[in-house]
Amino acid sequence: MRPLQNKYKIDNKEYVYDPLMLRFHYNTFTIMCDEEFLENLPKILHFSCFMSFVLKLNHIETLSDKGIIHELVHLSSKGTRQFSEIKKVRDKFDDLFGNIPDKFDIDAKYPINSGQENI
């Protein structure tokens, strides 16, 4: 494991993330022109899902009609791009993910009413 990598567990499986790599990806995404941003939406969605998880963003900020994941999904298809303004989505992306800490406080516990077992 490299020195800046951090670990966390979900369901007894260990995962690793590197804050420097997350910053690199964030910076790469933010300097892309709109066309490149749209071409890279699968990577951007993956990054956004992970960041939403580790930053403990709530479902309103992520999944609601104005949530970042929901808005990125709209941009991913020509048939739904009209429902999102790319500039506003990119501004929201910057606001939510622009401050990446060196270490996240990851407590990957399922909510009590989820039906999942916490180990």
Tell me the pLDDT tens digit for each residue of 55-101.
889 999 999 999 999 999 999 999 999 999 999 999 999 999 998 88
- Residue 3's pLDDT is what? 57
Q: pLDDT: is 3 or 59 the higher one?
A: 59
- Residue 108's pLDDT is what? 55
Residue 12 has pLDDT above 90, yes or no: no
User: pLDDT class for 118, splitting at 50, 70, 90?
Assistant: low
Q: Is the dihedral of CA 92, 95, 96, 100 positive or negative?
A: positive
How many Cα atoms are found within 13 Å in the side-chain-facing hemisphere of 39? 5
Contact (CB, 8 A) for 104 and 54: yes
- Residue 1's pLDDT is what? 47
61 contacts: CB under 8 Å, gap ≥ 6 = 52, 67, 68, 96
Q: pLDDT: is 64 or 104 the higher one?
A: 64
User: pLDDT class for 105, splitting at 50, 70, 90?
Assistant: confident
- Residue 21's pLDDT is what? 93
- Is 0.75 surpassed by the pTM of this model? yes
DSSP string across 54-82: HTT--HHHHTSTTSHHHHHHHHTSTTTGG
